[in-house]
Each structure stands twice: as C-alpha cells, then as structure tokens.
Amino acid sequence: MLRSVKVQDYMATNLISFRPETRLFDAIRALQEYGISGAPVVNAAGQLVGMLSELDCLGAILALTYHEEEMGSGGQVADYMTATVDTIAYDADLTEVSRRFMELKRRRLPVVRQGMLVGQISRRDVLRAVEEFAKDG
C-alpha cells in the first residue's frame, strides 16, 4: 500500500521559508506569527541550504547574551541555522519516508528534487495517507 504512494502526493508545498540573509529577529517573528517550530532556509536559486528551528533561535539568543553583544537585529539566519539537513526525495514512497522518520526521530522532512526545496512532509501527512487508504478499503 505505502510503496505505491509517493511523497509528492501528500507533501505540503505552501511553506514559510527564509533566506540566509534574513535578519534573525524577523525570522523569530515569522515563526511566532505562523505558529511553526522551524522553517527551511533556501538560497536565491531555491536550493535548500539549512533549517532554522526554535532551538537554533534560542541558541542564538543565549550566544548573544553570553557575549553581551547588542541584540540589534540579532544577525542573520545563516549565522544560526543548522546547515546539515536530513531530506527526502520527492519521488520516494511513503514506506521510505516512514522508515526515515523512525530512524531520524524527526516530525517532518524537507522534500527535495535535484537539490531544490519542493515541499515538506510530516508524520501526520503519512498518517493521513494511511487513513485515506483504510477508508477506501
């Protein structure tokens, strides 16, 4: 069942994302405004270059406080994002993404096609697919 369904069929495509040069505090404001815990960081070409999470933001604030730096804009997203990102291919099947979720202990994974961010899939999206298949019998 899950081998026949592709990530691209259930991934979210309307994502909030940041550019590396986005001011950190603007990114924090966006995370709060949209009620999300993190977002992908893409360059001008649309390639995934990192992720910015709430944890990354807290680390940035602690670093600024520790070094007694002026908060100002807080620097750029590129200064604090996680640059090594686990991803899944857009044409992977839901069995593969389920295995990756179990292995990586992640709630969501960015979906890429030839290095370009094309969406995001969550554990909840996979469960929605299972529910739809169960309903259809």
C-beta separation of 117 from 110 below 8 A: yes
- CA separation for the pair 38, 83 (Å, rounded): 13
Task: Print pLDDT tens along the chain (137 aa).
Answer: 667 889 999 999 999 999 999 999 999 999 999 999 999 999 999 999 999 999 999 999 888 777 666 556 578 999 999 999 999 999 999 999 999 999 999 889 999 999 899 999 999 999 999 888 787 75
- Map out the domains of the chain as residue ranges: 2-136
Q: What is the pTM of this model?
A: 0.85
What pLDDT does residue 67 have? 64
Give me the sheet containing 116-122, strands edge to edge.
88-89, 108-113, 116-122
Query: What is the structure's pLDDT at 25?
Result: 93
Looking at residue 70, its pLDDT comes to: 58
Q: How far is CA 136 from the centre of its chain?
A: 30
Q: What is the pLDDT of residue 133?
A: 79
CATH number for the domain whose boundaries are 2-136: 3.10.580.10
By CB neighbour count within 10 A (0-12 exposed, 13-18 middle, 19+ buried), where does 51 fall? Answer: buried
